[in-house]
Amino acid sequence: MPMPIRVGFLVGKDTDLVEDPKYDLIGDASFLKDLPDMYRVDPESKEYLKSCPPGTKGFAHADVAIPWYIKKHFEDVEVDIIMPEDITQKRLASNLVNFVIGYDVINAVFEGKKRLDHVTKCFKTCGNIMPSWEVQDFIYIKSRYMQACMDSGVPMAPTVYAFQGKRSPARLLNDIKIRGWKTFVMKQSMMAFSLGFCKLTVEECDKNPKILQDYFKDYPDCPEYVVQEAIEGFTRNWEVRCFWFNGEFLYAIANRAAVSTEDGKEVIVTGDDIPTEFLENAKRIGREALKVLPQLTTPDGQPVPMTLIRTDIGCSDSQIYDKDYNWDPNSKTFFLNEIEYGGTTYFIRHLKADMIPKWAELYVAKSREIQQKMLEGKALGESVEPKSKKAKTAAAVMKKPAGK
Q: Report the mean per-residue pLDDT for the chain.
A: 92
End-to-end CA distance of the chain, in Å?
A: 39
What string of DSSP letters covers 267-325?
EEEEGGGS-HHHHHHHHHHHHHHHTTSPPPB-TTS-B-----EEEEEEEE-S----TT-
pLDDT tier, 89 (very low <50, low <70, confident <90, very high otherwise): very high
The pLDDT value given to residue 271: 95
> Tens digits of per-residue pLDDT, 240-283?
999 999 999 999 999 986 544 556 677 899 999 999 999 999 99
Q: What mean pLDDT do residues 124-149 have? A: 97
* More confident call, 204 vs 386: 204
Structural domains in the chain, CATH included, are 5-131+351-390 (no CATH), 158-230 (3.30.1490.20), 233-341 (3.30.470)
> Tens digits of per-residue pLDDT, 271-303?
999 999 999 999 999 999 999 999 999 999 999
> Tens digits of per-residue pLDDT, 166-214?
999 999 999 999 999 999 999 999 987 778 899 999 999 999 999 999 9
The pLDDT value given to residue 256: 87
The pLDDT value given to residue 395: 34
Q: What mean pLDDT do residues 340-356 have? A: 95
Decide if pLDDT at 2 tops 50. yes
Q: What mean pLDDT do residues 142-160 have? A: 98
255: CB partners within 8 A, 6+ apart: 238, 239, 241, 266, 267, 268, 269
Pairing of strands 5-10, 77-82: parallel
Q: Which residues pair with 286 in a beta bridge?
A: none
Q: What mean pLDDT do residues 11-20 have? A: 96
* More confident call, 404 vs 312: 312
